[in-house]
Amino acid sequence: MEAEDRALSQVITWLLNNNFTKVILEIDCQQLVDTINTSYFQKNEVGDILKLCVSKCSSFENCSI
């Protein structure tokens, strides 16, 4: 799941840097989607990256994962 969370983080950063405000992120990793939707993050680097992703998503006017 580490590669997927890093890719998600990069995509979110790119979207923010390019002034997108309403986004729908489609991810084919069910474990990643479930982790984000439940907000239960592991206490490791993957969990830290996902917390950052969720935090960045709050910068959008509307963001669905």
Asked whether 16 and 57 are in contact (CB, 8 A), the reply is no
Report the pLDDT value the prediction gives residue 59, as an integer from 0 to 100.
Answer: 92
pLDDT in tens, the chain (65 residues): 789 999 999 999 999 999 999 999 999 999 999 988 888 888 999 999 999 999 999 999 998 88
**What is the spatial distance between Cα 51 and Cα 20, in angstroms, rounded to a whole number?**
20
The tokens describing 3, both together, are 């590669």
Q: What is the largest CA-CA distance in the chain?
A: 31
Domains of the chain, residue spans: 2-64
Report the pLDDT value the prediction gives residue 2, as an integer from 0 to 100.
Answer: 83
Q: Considering the entire predicted model, what is its pTM?
A: 0.85
Asked whether 57 and 65 are in contact (CB, 8 A), the reply is yes
Report the pLDDT value the prediction gives residue 51, as an integer from 0 to 100.
Answer: 93
